[in-house]
Amino acid sequence: MSFLSLTLLKAKQFRNSRLFKIYVMFSVISVVNFDNRKGHMNIILAGCNLDYGTISAFTDKKDDKDRLTPETIAAAYARISRDPRPVQELRSLAAGEVEKARQSNRNIVFEMGHSSIAEHAVFNIDFLGVSRLLVEEIERSRLASYTEKSQRYVTLTDDYVIPEEVREAGIEAVFSDTIGAQNRFYHKLYDRLRAHVFAKHREMAQEEKNRLLLEGWAKEDARYVISLATETQLGMTINARSAELMIRRLASSPLAEARECSRRLYEITGTLTPSLVRYIEPTDFDRLTKRELRETAVRLAKEGKGKVRPCAEDEAVVLVYATPEADDRIAALLLHSSSYLSLGECLGLVAGMSFPEKEAVVKTALRHMRPYDAVLREFEAVDLHFELTVSASCFAQLKRHRMATLTCQDYNPGLGVTVPPAVCEAGLEKDFREIIALTEESYDRIKKVRPEAAAYVLTNAHRRRVFLKLNARELYHVARLRGDRYAQWDIRCTATRMTELGKEVMPLTLILAAGKDSFPECFGRLFGTACAG
């Protein structure tokens, strides 16, 4: 029996529903060019993202909607390892027996511990009316994809979140007055910066196509004065395994907004995939570990008794560790993956090489690169550890590099603020710092009564210390994307300095690390020829 015939047979039980039309339509699409001759490649579309509103418009019965779950895909794929039948047949059977599929998932994921099965169920989730501070917590999850409303391109509309903690403590007026002052200054700042940017780049401004770019430069600098309570929106794609972990982490947060977010996330994912999203209650590990570590640090370091010194510019990026003899390790590993020699033999071979000989090995690995190519995976074998002191605006971009290891302290007004150079050029630094002073007075008042919510009132200019561990391959990516001349200036300065420090300790490994705009020139110096593409 063909897969299409089997699909139609299993669909008889709901052939009169609108869902039947969708089911057959996607089954037919999925078997175009189907050929089950032995040894013949066959790649089938098993499913794809559909807007849930579109699906709901095709279904008018509750039993139809119960079938609209990614659990059946997960259950079918779970059976691949032990069931000899073709996977498309397994999917068809699972789609026709949702409750059996769910029970199978429970057994495999939670009884047998094969949690990766839950990764086959994927959600697209909208977040609206959430604060910038909450988004930082949401985006801690590495294995998800995010697109956030950008304060660089969208003009602020004065919407902000008033934390439940602030309402309960009776300090809502202080909070709202402060954010109102920040937002009023934002609009004044944007108007003045827009005029300044257009005057500074008069020739660019003559062309209509450049005006949005110039307005974006003004917006991205004006945003430094708005708060972390500012409302934003976010689109997220995440699998069920990561969603379950996110729900549990948010539920353990001291912030009421995060706990409410956890509850709502569970409502939409747990209802749709009850066999995959189950363990959502915070454990003692989730709730207590960070708090107890903070108490330990206070006790040992007597934290809070001394005043924190503002971070100087030359202290903002500090390389605290790099893999020893990184260039030798990279050269050896490149030889190792390209030969039958043991790693010990390759290390010994490289140890006897001259610098030009080592350089020749590394250059061979880079010779055919183009600005859009990633360096080989061998470059992941050496690490760099940085301590960075960054503004909230810079951190918002830094946190997107999720394959690196990123840990952070709380925002700390004692570290000072990052003032955009354009603000100083436009003669507004004094006004800017007055708003910062007002903000920090309110921060101190809120912190005395509800310390967990005090960060909401801080601005995008306020700083925190972070630890960042990344391998050389990831630093190439950071340099290419964030060191480019079109990158936002704050993170461009950070990425450029990181790359400079990295090149000091591993000059061969990072010999071609550069912003996308300067990559062709760097390539030309290295190889004496133009870079194509």
Q: What CATH number is given to the structural domain containing 371? A: 3.30.1360.170
Is residue 36 in some structural domain?
A: yes
Mean pLDDT of the chain: 86
Q: Which helix (H) or strand (E) holds 383?
A: strand 383-391
Q: Region 451-459: what's the mean pLDDT?
A: 97
Is residue 209 in some structural domain?
A: no
Q: Which residues contact 257 (CB under 8 A, 6 or more apart)?
A: 130, 131, 133, 134, 161, 163, 164
Is residue 479 in some structural domain?
A: yes
Decide which of 98, 119, 140 is a domain's last residue. 119
- The predicted pLDDT at position 149 comes to 82
Q: Is the pLDDT of residue 203 over 60?
A: yes
Domain that holds residue 57: 3-119
Decide which of 95, 119, 143 is a domain's last residue. 119
Question: pLDDT grade, residue 79 (50/70/90)?
Answer: confident
Is residue 246 in some structural domain?
A: no
Select the more confidently predicted residue: 45 or 481: 481
Q: Is 232 helix (H, G, I), strand (E, B) or coil?
A: strand
Select the more confidently predicted residue: 347 or 63: 347
Q: Is the pLDDT of residue 480 over 50?
A: yes
Is residue 450 in some structural domain?
A: no
Decide which of 119, 148, 181 is a domain's last residue. 119
Lowest-confidence region among 278-292, 389-403, 404-418:
278-292
Is residue 399 in some structural domain?
A: yes
- The predicted pLDDT at position 34 comes to 43
Q: What are phi and psi of 345, to 5 degrees?
A: -65, -40
Number of independent structural domains in the chain:
2
Is residue 349 in some structural domain?
A: yes
Residues 321-369: tens digit of each pLDDT = 999 999 999 999 999 999 999 999 999 999 999 999 999 999 999 999 9
- The predicted pLDDT at position 404 comes to 94
**Taking the model in full, what pTM does it have?**
0.86
Is residue 333 in some structural domain?
A: yes
Q: Is the pLDDT of residue 26 over 70?
A: no
Question: pLDDT grade, residue 473 (50/70/90)?
Answer: very high
Q: Region 169-180: what's the mean pLDDT?
A: 96
Distances in whole angstroms, Cα of residue 291 to Cα of each of 279, 280, 298, 303: 22, 20, 11, 14
- The predicted pLDDT at position 91 comes to 76
Q: Is 77 helix (H, G, I), strand (E, B) or coil?
A: helix
